[in-house]
Structure 1
């Protein structure tokens, strides 16, 4: 394996920081065969292709794919050289996953719709609790009148 130009490479620390993961996560993905960094001694060197693979891995994890599912998707390029049965199995698994994700999207859309309706209902209830401006104005006038009379009452000597 030839090592690309230094500008195209990054260290495990740089890659981890760039993607917001730990170095341990990257080593785990390497152990599972999902990433295959070049080596210079004991140093792992990640290429642009490794970065692209990591982005796909993380995206797959976010939407619920298992590492095995992700591995199969990453190996699609090599499926051209595989058997028809292997390709059909991969297609079937992908279609199943698409179906699961579409059901999840429908569930999420439904939950969001219910939450938005709940927010609107609460906003209306809160708005109903706020008195109109004319009532607030009258209440301030009454408070001022009551305060003036109390002040008069407190200031006048007892009979």
Structure 2
């Protein structure tokens, strides 16, 4: 009986290990793509920081953006995100997500068609959720926080180590 129990435990551990490997396999490409999207989006940060005359606290907010426990509260960060999205032609004149351009932006940074569609849908859902916020910067910040939460639920958020590595290679 003990031998059967040990064999079952061994099979169970093997199954759990295989599931974990599959999770890592499936999560890693999405995390890599989110890292690429973050880096691509962030290229406009310094320009927007200067144009909007924003302080260095903006850099801190972007550095910590993917940390779930980091509290994004500064509306200036929303203004910076809106500026960056505008520079990348990701928003329309009425400050809403340009679905086609956002889809192509995601694909140009490694997302396949399905992932690009899913990202656009998530942002669109966040836009609808926060449509009543009248201040453009505050609404953009709320949309960004909503999007971050959705990405964390999917376990697609890039690790801080990956973000730091990316930032260090650009310096």
Q: TM-score normalised by the shorter chain: which range applies?
A: under 0.3
Bigger Rg over Cα: 1
Q: TM-score, normalised by structure 1?
A: 0.26
